[in-house]
Amino acid sequence: MAIPVLALCALALYLLAAALIARPLLADSTPQPRLPMALATLAFLAHAGVLLLAHRGALDLHFFAALSLVAWVVAALTILVNLSRPIAALGVIVFPAAALLLGLDVFAAPPTAPQPMDWQIKLHVTIALLAYGVLSIAAALALLLAAQERALRHRRFGGLLRALPPLTLTETLLFRLIGAGFILLTLTLLTGILFVQDLFGQHLAHKTALSIAAWLVFGVLVYGRVRHGWRGARAINLTLAGMAFLLLAFFGTKFVLELVLHRTA
């Protein structure tokens, strides 16, 4: 009984936080992020309680459980980012997504049990979760950056522009996130070598190929930024393309294996 109650509390708090952030943006007034971020923090804590109780305090990487876990990590990182760079508008994207994925895990997914893992896999998964989280925030920020550039081009100086730092600072934060995410993704691939014995036998061929494709896209973007000062639409498009490969690598392959082929991912 505690799990559904905690989940409903987390859902309500996530959605309320997102609504409080979105309302000033739609009304062209200056957002006040303190209350929404406080509510999001409570939602994050309730979400953590659900993960601990529902999955017995262990890493459960079945499809819906993994979605909820990644959503929790992204929500946590969004709150942390706002401590140093007040970009509350990220919550309009992140917090409803976290609520949706938590709701699917608790109220729609079949019950699952965590599988035993060696330390190598736990290390790999922990780094991978951080990589997904950081790069997911980068992708959300890229969407906001695209909207910010569009608003500036059309001289619409409304709530969104007031909610975001100046364009150059938004871009700087975007590339810091991409740089950190690229390092974590590199470590994810390297630690994956520790337990991969048979790419095809372990159903890892597609996941590995797509992860490497994402790594190449983000690597090209980092190189282009450092070497040629890439920015604007090119940076946004490459960020979203790299994130698309990353989502397909993990959740796309898990969806096919678990929900279509009914195999262990």
Contact, 141 vs 172, CB < 8 A? no
Which of 182, 172, 170 minimizes the C-alpha distance to 222? 182
Residue with tokens 């009304």: 27
Phi, psi angle pair for 154, to nearest 5°: -95, 10
Phi and psi at residue 155, to the nearest 5°:
55, 45
Task: Please provide the average confidence, as pLDDT, over all residues in the chain.
Answer: 83
> Which amino acid, one-letter code, is at 170?
T
What percent of the chain is helix, strand and coil (3-state, nearest 5)?
80, 0, 20
Domain ranges for the chain: 1-114, 117-265
Ordered per-residue pLDDT tens for the chain, 265 residues: 578 899 999 999 999 999 988 887 666 555 677 889 999 999 999 999 999 888 776 777 788 888 899 999 999 999 998 887 778 788 889 999 999 999 999 998 777 777 777 777 788 888 999 999 999 999 999 998 888 888 777 666 555 656 666 778 888 889 999 999 999 999 998 887 776 654 444 556 678 888 999 999 999 999 999 998 888 889 999 999 999 999 988 887 766 666 665 555 5
Q: What is the pLDDT of residues 137-172, one digit of tens each?
A: 999 999 988 888 887 776 665 556 566 667 788 888
DSSP assignment string, 14-45: HHHHHHHHHHHHHTTS----HHHHHHHHHHHH
How do residues 95-108 score in pLDDT, each as one tens digit? Answer: 999 999 999 999 98
Q: 0.75 exceeded by the pTM?
A: yes
